[in-house]
Amino acid sequence: MNSIQQTFANSHQAGRGVLVVYVTAGDPSLEETVEIMTTVAEAGADIVELGIPYSDPLADGPTIQAASQRALEAGTTIQGVFDCATQIRQRISIPLVIMTCYNPILQFGPEAFAVEASNIGVDGVVASDLPPSEADEWCAVAAEHNIAAIFLVAPTTPQQRVARAVECTTGFVYAVARPGVTGARDQLPEDLKGSVARIRQVTDLPIAVGFGISTPQQVAAVCEIADGAIVGSAVINIIAEASDHEARLPQVSQFVSGLAAATRW
């Protein structure tokens, strides 16, 4: 069992779901990302997801697109994100996952990327536009270097592909809550329970739900039907809207504590 699966098992035993928090690296700066991630962990997140900003993120809505653009304009590079991850790793011990599109991995070199991530102590990687059917090379190098490969399953994924996705997955299954892009939403989709059940039928791996999860109420509802909830855009909105550096960390802390409190069954 890897550290990600261990985290899910521990939470389960403690009677609660897992809270995964996503933050785009380099927004507003890589130095602040280190502080933000430390704050997120201290406020009760169980897993942190560090996003490599990308110029053309197909799966992302306006919030994460804007965060990526700000980060790129601030000069964020892949090596910069790895350095940032190194510092985060020195400060927190919970699982650290990198989220990216596949082209940056391809340009860095899949093997080199896995080696670098592994040396830093990154636990897993999600590539949001890499379906399992294109992932043979990535899965092989990730496995070789003990990086959990995390794949997405959508409500629109045919059952045959769900089976393939869970076979390739070695951390948790990332259940996409609804067709569409990332971004905070007022409501959970009605058929979420069915979507999760469809994945549960074919795997014992932990299942966490993301895309549009943004309030403690939604986190609570998700934790009743799945093993964890993933929150991204809502946190990024707080980071972006904070009036200044001083205000930012306490606001992030307060928001994440609220989410973490909602994970209890």
Partner 1 sequence: MTTATEQRSGRFGRYGGQYVPETLMGALDELVEAYEEAWADPEFHEELEYYWRHYAGRPTPLYLAERLSDLCETQVYLKREDLNHTGAHKLNNTLGQVLLARRMGKPRLVAETGAGQHGVATATVGALFGMETVVYMGVEDIRRQRLNCFRMELLGARIEPVESGKGTLKDATNEAIRDWMTNVENTHYLMGSVCGPHPYPTMVRDFQTVIGKEVREQCREQIGRLPDMLVACVGGGSNSMGLFYPFIEDDVKLVGVEGAGHGLHTGEHSAPLAVGSFGILHGSASQIMQDEDGQIINAHSVAAGLDYPGVGPEHAYLQESGRATYVSVTDEQALDAFEQLSQLEGIIPALEAAHALAWVIEQAGNFGEDEVMVINLSGRGDKDAAEVKSLL
Which residues contribute to the site for partner 1 (CB under 8 A)?
54-56, 58-59, 61, 65, 69, 72, 77-78, 101-108, 128-131, 133-134, 151-158, 161, 165, 176, 179-181
We find the least distance from the C-beta atom of residue 189 to partner 1, in angstroms, to be 12
We find the least distance from the C-beta atom of residue 41 to partner 1, in angstroms, to be 27
Rank residues 181 and 229 by Cβ distance to partner 1 and give the closer one: 181
C-alpha neighbours within 13 Å on the C-beta side of residue 189 = 18
We find the least distance from the C-beta atom of residue 252 to partner 1, in angstroms, to be 26
Question: In whole angstroms, what is the distance from residue 146 CA to residue 148 CA?
Answer: 6
Sign (positive/negative) of CA torsion 22, 48, 18, 140?
A: positive
Rank residues 125 and 154 by Cβ distance to partner 1 and give the closer one: 154
Tokens representing residue 231 in the block: 């929150």
Q: Helices in the chain by DSSP H: which ranges? A: 3-13, 30-42, 62-73, 78-91, 102-108, 110-120, 136-144, 159-168, 192-200, 216-225, 233-241, 245-261
State the catalytic residues: 49, 60
Rank residues 134 and 144 by Cβ distance to partner 1 and give the closer one: 134
We find the least distance from the C-beta atom of residue 87 to partner 1, in angstroms, to be 20
CB 37 within 8 A of CB 88: yes
Rank residues 176 and 209 by Cβ distance to partner 1 and give the closer one: 176
